[in-house]
Amino acid sequence: MASPLDPHAAIVTEAGGLDATLTTADGTPLKRALARASRKSRWRAFLLVLPLLAFIVITFVVPIGQMLHRSVYNDGFAANMPQISGWFAETEPGTVPDDAAFAALSADLQAAAEARTIGIVGTRINYEMPGTRSLFTSTGRKVRGGVEPPYREALLEIDGKWGEPELWASMRNSSTAYTGSFYLASLDRTRDTNGDIVQVNENRRVYIMLFMRTLWLSALVTVMTFLLGFPIAHLLATLPLRRSNLLMILVLLPFWTSLLVRTTSWMVLLQQQGVVNDLLIWMGAIDESGRLKMMYNQIGSIIAMTHILLPFMILPLYSVMRTINPSYVRAAKSLGATSWTAFRRIYFPQTLPGLGAGALLVFILAVGYYITPALVGGASGQLISNMIAEHMTGTLNWSMAAALAAILLAGVLILYWIYDRLVGIDNLKLG
């Protein structure tokens, strides 16, 4: 194997002189040879990862980047109404539209109507000010043949709404392709006629409420999984391995069962004519008229999500509890601590790493839950993910969906970063 040219073949120490350097057989300084060799092995390791890295960048990073771009970019108005967009660019927010503005507007409306893009324009303004899409389409039909000056009077005659300052503020907000208005809308804010940021009307404030509900429900589910998961993990960790492995199957089976299957079973169990209600009636806890409504509301979401996410709490807790030395608790008791004190002061603090890992994982997964709330949540159990889906498939306001998704993504990434700092991704275990 070793030829005289192989730099690793032999290391020769030149003993002559004070500034002696270590060299390899072919005379390169050892330092440089080592650097070259380790660079080579770094490249070799990197080349193994490279195909997957490229794959993930294309199928994951680029799509999410595109989504983020979409959240600040919507040229529905700017591209189809160039003249009035130009007027907005030149004037200050709050400027009362003059004759030039109305002339530009009617020219744009006419051009958009002829190019059949007026619907796109109307849809864009509709996002800012609901109920205005029809104003654009109906005006478009009337101006297609041409508008006679004076333009202001002509447009106001078609519909008085064209004089409303709110409409002009909405058009100004939409007049640039790059806009932060979808993020403002995600926080229930908008720009008023003077260009100041204000809260939207009370009946339109939904998003902050939804974000808060998502956080609250996720926190609640995390606490529930902790309360149910802790005793189980403790039992599994203290039983002899043979028996705990058997019981572990009861934890892993739900983990491996399809999410839709588990959600379906909860629907079957919780519905008003379902098994749980029948059981309660049979036991005499409730009567026929008092059947509990446990589905299509928050209770359904909480129960099903707790069940589905419970293994994610049990598994990290279990792996930490397995490593806890039982002699510490025994030592505490021998020093006079009661069982409760020994648990509270000695055992529980040692489980905190597992608890942190489990709680963070459950919370991260709960914040982004979509399927279960959509199926069992009803109106009051909908989370922010369901609103994103609604904007993607229902209202087709894709920029709004992207902005909401971006805020959710930012939150999840912060939690992920904390998880990596506290727990380390390497310690993520499956089963």
Partner 1 sequence: MALPKYATPLERVWHWTYLVICALIFFFLIAPIVVIIPLSFNADRFFTFTDEMLAFDPAGYSMRWYDSLMTFGMAQPEGPRGASWFADMWANAKWVNAAKNSIIIGVCSTVLATVLGTLAALGLSRPEMPFRRLIMALLISPMIVPLIITATGLFFFYSSACVPQGSWAHTLLSPVLSKSGCLANTYLGVILAHATLGIPFVIITVTATLVGFDQSLNRAAASLGANPRTTFFRVTMPLILPGVISGALFAFVTSFDEVVAVLFIAGPDQMTIPRQMWIGIREQLSPAILAVATLLVVFSIALLVTVELLRRRSERIRGVTPA
Cα–Cα distance measured from residue 125 to residue 80, given in angstroms and rounded to the nearest whole number: 12
Cα–Cα distance measured from residue 359 to residue 224, given in angstroms and rounded to the nearest whole number: 10
Task: From 62-70, 79-87, 97-105, 344-352, give the range in contact with partner 1 by CB under 8 A.
Answer: 62-70
Among 55, 178, 216, 328, binds partner 1 (CB under 8 A): 55
- Nearest C-alpha neighbor of 163 from the set 119, 97, 86, 111: 97
Task: From 2-10, 12-20, 170-178, 236-244, give the range in contact with partner 1 by CB under 8 A.
Answer: 236-244
**Is 15 near partner 1 (CB under 8 A)?**
no
Q: Least distance in Å: CB of 144 to partner 1?
A: 30
- Both tokens of 11, joined, read 């290391």
**Is 370 near partner 1 (CB under 8 A)?**
yes
Which residues, 349 to 368, sit near partner 1 by CB under 8 A?
Answer: 364, 367-368
Number of neighbouring beta carbons within 10 Å of residue 169: 20
**Is 260 near partner 1 (CB under 8 A)?**
yes
Cα–Cα distance measured from residue 220 to residue 16, given in angstroms and rounded to the nearest whole number: 74
Cα–Cα distance measured from residue 233 to residue 227, given in angstroms and rounded to the nearest whole number: 11
Q: How would you class 34 by CB atoms within 10 Å of its CB: exposed for 0-12, middle for 13-18, buried for 19 or more?
A: middle
**Is 339 near partner 1 (CB under 8 A)?**
yes
Cα–Cα distance measured from residue 38 to residue 99, given in angstroms and rounded to the nearest whole number: 72
- Nearest C-alpha neighbor of 98 from the set 60, 51, 151: 151
**Is 331 near partner 1 (CB under 8 A)?**
no
Query: 113 or 314, CB closer to partner 1?
Result: 314
**Is 206 near partner 1 (CB under 8 A)?**
no
Among 11, 12, 208, 259, binds partner 1 (CB under 8 A): 259
Cis ω on the peptide bond leading into residue 150 (within 30° of 0)?
A: yes
**Is 45 near partner 1 (CB under 8 A)?**
yes
**Is 401 near partner 1 (CB under 8 A)?**
yes
Number of residues that bind partner 1 (CB under 8 A): 89
**Is 96 near partner 1 (CB under 8 A)?**
no
Contacts of 23 (CB under 8 A, 6+ apart): 11, 12, 14, 29, 30
Cα–Cα distance measured from residue 288 to residue 202, given in angstroms and rounded to the nearest whole number: 40
**Is 341 near partner 1 (CB under 8 A)?**
no
Residues 221, 222, 223, 229, CA torsion sign: positive
Which residues, 267 to 296, sit near partner 1 by CB under 8 A?
Answer: 267-269, 271, 273-275, 278
Task: Give SS3 for 197.
Answer: strand
Q: Least distance in Å: CB of 59 to partner 1?
A: 5
Task: From 89-97, 109-117, 139-147, 243-251, give the range in contact with partner 1 by CB under 8 A.
Answer: 243-251
Q: Least distance in Å: CB of 10 to partner 1?
A: 17
Among 46, 216, 328, 348, binds partner 1 (CB under 8 A): 46
Among 83, 119, 192, 398, binds partner 1 (CB under 8 A): 398
Number of neighbouring beta carbons within 10 Å of residue 224: 19
**Strand ranges (E), 6-157:** 11-13, 22-24
Q: Least distance in Å: CB of 389 to partner 1?
A: 6
**Is 239 near partner 1 (CB under 8 A)?**
yes
**Is 210 near partner 1 (CB under 8 A)?**
no
**Is 33 near partner 1 (CB under 8 A)?**
no
What type of residue sits at position 402? A
Which residues, 68 to 87, sit near partner 1 by CB under 8 A?
Answer: 70
